[in-house]
Amino acid sequence: MALPLAGIRVLDISQVMAGPFCCMLLADMGADVIKIEPPGTGDSTRHSMGFRLKGSDSPGFLALNRNKRSITLDLKSSEDREVLYALVKTADVLIENARPGVAARLGMDYATLKALNPRLVYASISGFGQTGPWSQRPGFDLIAQAVSGVLSSNGFPGMEPAKNSIAVADLGAGLFTAYAVLSAVIGRQASGEGQYVDASLFEAALALSVWETTELWGTGASPTPIGSANRMSAPYQAVEASDGWFVIGAANQGLWLTFLKVLGREELQQDARFSTNAGRVQNRIALMETLAPTFLTRTRQEWIDLLMEAGVPTAPILDYGEAVVSEQAKAREMVQMVPHPVEGEFRALGFPVKLSATPQEIRLPPPLLNEHGDEIRRELTEKGLLAPATTKETA
């Protein structure tokens, strides 16, 4: 059985993270993703990061570009733009992440391409969106985290601002764009026409701040850093045992009462500050100070075993080296070996969702720069969309 997006063609005219991540998700589901890169340099992520495996492409590029084909096009060249226009006539989706206005200057804006293919779903991912007073500002994940409020609420009280180490703005924008373009493709079945998708890192980071904005509007005060704790329930955070830290999640009243029994601290339910979840959240610091001496009486594993046996959510704090070799990661096949013409094989994260009838697969390794340029030109020529003279070999 074919993968769900087999027959869908996506043109990936994006670089770095948000756009390539979005297009890789679509490629993993079976879309034919053609990565259009500048000649010579390609996606700037090919040369980023301070370490390499065997080849010249960075591990960051390898991590975000499997299941794609690569062609280089100089979009300032009229000849190469004709190749782009031919590709657009065959495409369902185009995703680009240039600063607003650049696509129009290159002759690849939505209005221009819609005239060639009215069914095209065209998505732009930028720092701040195509409109508004910040639209022309350069946008990276750090910038979006800063102006969306994420940076102000992350980390610990009294410490320097702490960026979320997961690129929530970049990856969030990629996820939201995938959701939007697939919705538009489905909607096209009824309307017969594509549409324009305007996504941004700023809005992705803000949209993911569900708890934080709820606290703002509920209390009138902007959330401040609370470390590993939760804004809506307590105790729900990292705690220190005699030999180190682990996490607990007594996130409702039933779990709270069970949690107290395991700790032998049932008397805390009689304390008005802690008897309800609202009280525990409001008095979280006092609650954790009260519980701290109890946690120090046992090791992490002893507490984890006792709490898990009672049904209270708890877990050790694994580093990435431990997480990717955990029995659960192995059972869920969350590490895949990717074959590559230069690297031989390299490890990559697997598929985060599983389809029962059409499981995803690694069909293509991350492409070498322009690896499929001649192949793609031949396909366009065979369809009568490109003159044979334009199919000359490219470097």
Catalytic residues: 170
């369902």: which residue's tokens? 92
CA angle 379, 385, 391 (to 5 degrees): 55
Residue 276 CA to residue 174 CA, distance in Å, equals 39
Residue 13 CA to residue 66 CA, distance in Å, equals 15
Name 336's bridge partners: 348
DSSP letter (8 states) at residue 47? G
Residue 201 to residues 150, 177, 222, Cα–Cα distance (Å): 12, 10, 21
State whether the Cα torsion 143-144-149-152 is positive or negative.
negative
The DSSP secondary structure of 50-78, one letter per residue, reads S--SSSSS-HHHHHH-TTEEEEE--TTSH
The candidate with the shortest Cα–Cα distance to 198, out of 135, 143, 254, is: 135
Listed in sequence order, the DSSP H helices in the chain are 18-28, 59-64, 78-90, 102-105, 110-116, 141-148, 150-153, 168-191, 201-207, 210-219, 253-263, 277-282, 284-295, 300-310, 320-323, 327-331, 373-382
Residue 181 CA to residue 197 CA, distance in Å, equals 7
State whether the Cα torsion 327-328-329-332 is positive or negative.
positive
Biggest CA-to-CA distance, the chain: 84
Residue 136 CA to residue 187 CA, distance in Å, equals 30
DSSP letter (8 states) at residue 161? P
Burial call 168-196: b when 16+ CB within 10 Å, e when fewer: bbbbbbbbbbbebbbebbeebeeeeebbe
